[in-house]
Amino acid sequence: MERRAFRLRITGQVQGVGYRWWAERQARSLALDGWVRNCPDGSVELLAIGDEVALERMAEACRGGPPAASVSDVQALAADDDGSVGFAARS
């Protein structure tokens, strides 16, 4: 399986609503590697690494987010595989 990577920047009401915890669960259920973290500007940044189908599913899920979130935009950019093993929330 070829590993691909992308970086998502999720904006809206996405901090303080369990978004990182939710994203970690979603990514693990899709067998993705990478990480998710809150950014100082109020957005959430996510690096996902895995097969193309799982990456597409993750991006689609992030457009909705957890029930308490209000996502206004999700920007996807190609990224390099940073060698992450597993998926974790970062501070």
In a domain, 86, yes or no: no
The answer to whether residue 89 sits within a structural domain is no
Residue 91 lies in a domain: no
Number of domain units in the chain? 1
**What confidence tier does 1 reach under pLDDT thresholds 50, 70, 90?**
low
- Is residue 24 included in any domain, yes or no? yes
Cα separation values, 5 from 15, 18, 38, 45, 50, Å? 23, 23, 19, 13, 7
CATH of the domain at 36: 3.30.70.100
Residues labelled as active-site residues: 20, 38
Q: Is residue 32 part of a domain?
A: yes
4-49: pLDDT as tens digits: 999 999 999 999 999 999 999 999 999 999 999 999 999 999 999 9
pTM, two decimal places: 0.94
Q: Is residue 59 part of a domain?
A: yes
Q: Domain range holding 39?
A: 4-81
Q: Residue 55 falls within a domain, yes or no?
A: yes
